[in-house]
Amino acid sequence: MPTDDHILLARRHLAAARKLTILTGAGISADSGVPTFRGADGLWRNFRPEDLATPEAFERDPRLVWEWYNWRRELIATKQPNSAHHAVVELEQRWVDRMWLITQNVDGLHRAAGSQRLSEIHGNIWKVRCTGCGVVSENREIPLPPLPTCRLCQALLRPHIVWFGESLWEEEIHRCDEALRDCDVFLVIGTSGVVYPAAGFASVAKEAGAMVIEINLDRTPQSNLVDLSLQGRAKDLVPLLLYPA
Ligand code: OAD
């Protein structure tokens, strides 16, 4: 756990911030029971991303990919937002239109908690996208077989997720870039900081003059770059930031 002085320092910087940008990763949902990707029981320790999370994998075996996403959907459906997700909502309510949340998580738990001003830069597991006409829609039930197809054009539907080897959506990147260059505090919660472009966001915000605060269970490749690194569980530490400085 960080010392009280470190928590106090984080609160002071937050209190002085006119604009706040937050980045979250799998660590914030770990406290809700959603597996991370690179932790001890992380998904990428048991599955190969190239078999399940690339456009080539989907082309080769769409059924296998859909089965994997259905398995993850079933798991996530049983989980609830935790105190860290709720604290992020509280921060949004305080900063109103001066806060932006960027999440790499596809689990939808930030939305379920009530976050409204956010970019889900890796997509959302509860959305599907047509491989033909590109229409995105919410779809919570994908019974297999047969493979799901688009109501409008009958082409195959895919998860609305950014897979390895794919680029992020232009408009999301633009919005994130603006939020990173224009914030006074950039709060990075529960990400290993190894997947780009999000792994580069702390540098962008810092170079633009923001104070960067990291909350993570462990040290990360970003810990030396940030101004303040708080080690502990997101569910314990994020709510502590809500108290007055
Ligand atoms: P990772 O699994 O790579 O990292 C999770 C981070 O959370 C690690 O740094 C852990 O130390 C930290 N952590 C674990 N439990 C925590 C807790 N209770 N409180 C605070 N921190 C905790 O997940 P991401 O960084 O989110 O991409 O991974 C980035 C992307 O890689 C994901 O979005 C995913 C994956 O491939 C896609 O699905 C497109």
Structure tokens, 50: 């190239």
Choose one of 79, 88, 104 to mutate for the ligand 1 pocket test, by most ligand atoms within 8 angstroms of C-beta. Answer: 104
Contact yes or no for 234/189 (Cβ under 8 A): yes
Confidence of residue 244 (pLDDT cuts 50, 70, 90): confident
Angle at 122 between CA 141 and CA 230, to 5 degrees: 120
Q: What is the pLDDT of residues 60-82, one digit of tens each?
A: 999 999 999 999 999 999 999 99
Contact yes or no for 86/118 (Cβ under 8 A): no
Q: Whose CA is nearest to atom 9 of ligand 1?
A: 192
13 is catalytic: no
Collapsing DSSP to helix, strand or coil, 97 comes out as: helix
Q: 102: closest CA among 23, 30, 183?
A: 23
Contact yes or no for 150/157 (Cβ under 8 A): yes
How many percent of the chain have pLDDT more than 90? 90
Q: 214: closest CA among 232, 226, 197?
A: 226
Report, in angstroms and rounded to the nearest whole number, the Rg of the chain calculated over CA atoms: 18
Which amino acid belongs to residue 209? Answer: G
**Which H or E run includes 113?**
helix 109-113
Q: What is the pLDDT of residues 81-94, one digit of tens each?
A: 999 999 999 999 99
Q: pLDDT value at position 173?
A: 94
Pocket of ligand 1 (CB under 6 A): 25-27, 30-31, 36-39, 42, 104, 106, 122, 161-162, 190-192, 195, 216-218, 220, 233-234
Please state, as a whole number, how many other Cβ atoms lie within 10 Å of the Cβ of residue 36: 22
Q: In this structure, what are the phi and psi dihedrals at residue 105, rounded to the nearest 5 degrees?
A: -80, 140
Which amino acid belongs to residue 60? Answer: R
Centre of ligand 1 to C-alpha 195, Å, is 9
Which residue, chain included where needed, has tokens 């960080």? 2
CA 183: distance to chain centroid?
18
Q: What is the 3-state secondary structure (H, E, C) of 25-93?
A: CHHHHHCCCCCCCCCCCCHHHHCCHHHHCCHHHHHHCHHHHHHHHHHHHHHHHCCCCCHHHHHHHHHHH
Please state, as a whole number, how many other Cβ atoms lie within 10 Å of the Cβ of residue 131: 17
Choose one of 129, 188, 217, 238 to mutate for the ligand 1 pocket test, by most ligand atoms within 8 angstroms of C-beta. Answer: 217
Q: What is the pLDDT of residues 91-145, one digit of tens each?
A: 999 999 999 999 999 999 999 999 999 999 999 999 999 999 999 999 998 888 8
Atom of ligand 1 nearest to the CA of 39: 2
Atom of ligand 1 nearest to the CA of 24: 26
C-alpha distances in Å from residue 4, one per residue of 130, 185, 230: 50, 19, 11
Centre of ligand 1 to C-alpha 22, Å, is 15
Indicate which residue of 85, 110, 122, 160 is catalytic.
122
Structure tokens, 12: 């002071």
Please state, as a whole number, how many other Cβ atoms lie within 10 Å of the Cβ of residue 69: 19
pLDDT at 1 over 80: no
| Helices and strands (H, E) in the chain, number of each type | 11, 9
pTM over 0.85: yes
